[in-house]
Amino acid sequence: MVNRLKEDLIRTSAMGRVSNRPVASYGQLDSKAGVSRPEGSLANKVLRDFTVKCMQTAGLSVRIDRVGNIFGRKDGSMNREKAVMVGSHLDSVINGGHLDGALGVFAGIEAVRRLCDEDFQNQRPIEVVAFTGEEGSAFMVGAMLGSAFLVGKMSADEALSTRNTHGRTLQEVLTENGYQGDFEYCSDDIDAFMELHIEQGPALDTENIPVGIVEHISGITWLKSIITGVGRHAGTTPMHLRQDALVVAADAVRFINRRALEMAQSQISPIVGTTGYLSVYPNNMNVIPAMVKLGFDIRSTSLKSMQCLTDETISFLNGLTQEKGLDVRMESSDTQAPVKLSNAIVRTIEKAAVRTGVRFKRMTSGAGHDTQNMASIAKTGMIFVPSVKGISHSPMEWTEWDDIEKGVSVLTGALKDLSACK
């Protein structure tokens, strides 16, 4: 592999890491010391500064928009044509891995460097983008904030007034770090967008396939419910007189797990259902649980399947609580619809993989990405590289260098095709 991308990634792997030590191999990872680069942090600024420097060295002209998105432009021979954009995000979760997001930005910069090495003349302008605040780990109101702003789903005022976990606004931290620009990117000026990203799941690693071409991004429903029973003495209340909220909650946990498994096995579109949040009140050893708050996460590429599992879960809870004499209150569910990515881009990426002799498979992304916002304004595609053991959002997140190289080769090939006006 061309060493400069490896060098960039090793260098940036130290930024925001507790130990401040760069990591060059899986064996050097420390399960307790991941990277923390939430938007607005010093580590995030250091990584932004380095990214801008790399973009400039690669010959890109750098512009920053109002919410801190960084754009590096390589002019095209037909410069008034719409651009082809590649990139991802620089922020991370707390104590996460260094490749989630940053890999996509530096892969984009590397792809441009390779085009320059070959004297490749792109007709369309090429833009490498680093989006602000994808993870929502600091500014929780808006995950995928930067791309939401770019595509017009969020206004600048709404984005900039969002406060982080320390109570500071995005405007304050961007101004302080020198990343509140005044450039305005017109979303009509983007023809195509591609994001290279780690898979964050086990499919590619398990099957030993270096590149995934994403066809769909799963939709998500978050369903919240509060089950109210009666909190009484755990020693003196006979079993048949109990209205134990946790027992009902436990049945609901098993229900969604079983139904999601059954649906996944019987349907064409995959579905997953998780009870990710559980809060028990009063949570005392000697008190029958009086109240339980439950949070269900339901994901699928089929909105209909998501709706079906949501409805079944609600009616199961209603039926069971009624039968047992408890109350249940459902909070209105929050749904992001599944996104189907562009067939044309899937085929372009596939052709690039075939040309470079890289094995690939078409797949679905269970995690959300800036790509799903970008799909609302441009032809959009996504390239996955394997996550070792499927681990991500963890200090143990890793992708082998060979797989990164294959992903970048495919990205570069697809970028060449998309930068031609047809």
Measured from the CB atom, the residue of 87 and 289 that comes closer to Zn ion is 87
Query: Helices 401-418 and 3-13: crossing angle, nearest 10°?
Result: 120
- What are the strands, taking DSSP E only, across 65-205? 70-74, 83-89, 126-131, 190-198
Q: How far is the CB of 133 from Zn ion (least distance, A)?
A: 11
Q: How far is the CB of 283 from Zn ion (least distance, A)?
A: 34
Measured from the CB atom, the residue of 101 and 273 that comes closer to Zn ion is 101
Taking the C-alpha atoms of residue 202 and residue 389, their distance in angstroms, rounded to an integer, is 6
Measured from the CB atom, the residue of 104 and 289 that comes closer to Zn ion is 104
Q: How far is the CB of 134 from Zn ion (least distance, A)?
A: 6
Which two tokens mark 219? 């939709």
Q: How far is the CB of 101 from Zn ion (least distance, A)?
A: 4
Measured CA to CA in angstroms, residue 215 lies from 209, 226, 342 at distances of 16, 36, 7
Q: To which residue do tokens 């949570």 refer?
A: 283
In single-letter form, the type of residue at position 263 comes to M
Measured from the CB atom, the residue of 113 and 369 that comes closer to Zn ion is 369
Measured from the CB atom, the residue of 88 and 180 that comes closer to Zn ion is 88
CA angle (5 as vertex; 382, 54 as ends), nearest 5:
95
- DSSP summary character for residue 119: T
Q: How far is the CB of 51 from Zn ion (least distance, A)?
A: 15
Which two tokens mark 381? 């595609």
Report how far Cα 185 is from the mean position of its chain's Cα atoms.
22
Q: How far is the CB of 197 from Zn ion (least distance, A)?
A: 6
Residues forming contacts to Zn ion in the complex (CB under 5 A) are 100-101
Does residue 356 contact residue 389 with C-beta atoms inside 8 Å? no
Measured from the CB atom, the residue of 101 and 231 that comes closer to Zn ion is 101
Q: How far is the CB of 200 from Zn ion (least distance, A)?
A: 7
Does residue 197 contact residue 369 with C-beta atoms inside 8 Å? yes
Measured from the CB atom, the residue of 171 and 392 that comes closer to Zn ion is 392
Measured from the CB atom, the residue of 101 and 270 that comes closer to Zn ion is 101
Taking the C-alpha atoms of residue 218 and residue 74, their distance in angstroms, rounded to an integer, is 32
- What are the strands, taking DSSP E only, across 337-414? 339-340, 360-365, 379-385
Q: How far is the CB of 102 from Zn ion (least distance, A)?
A: 9
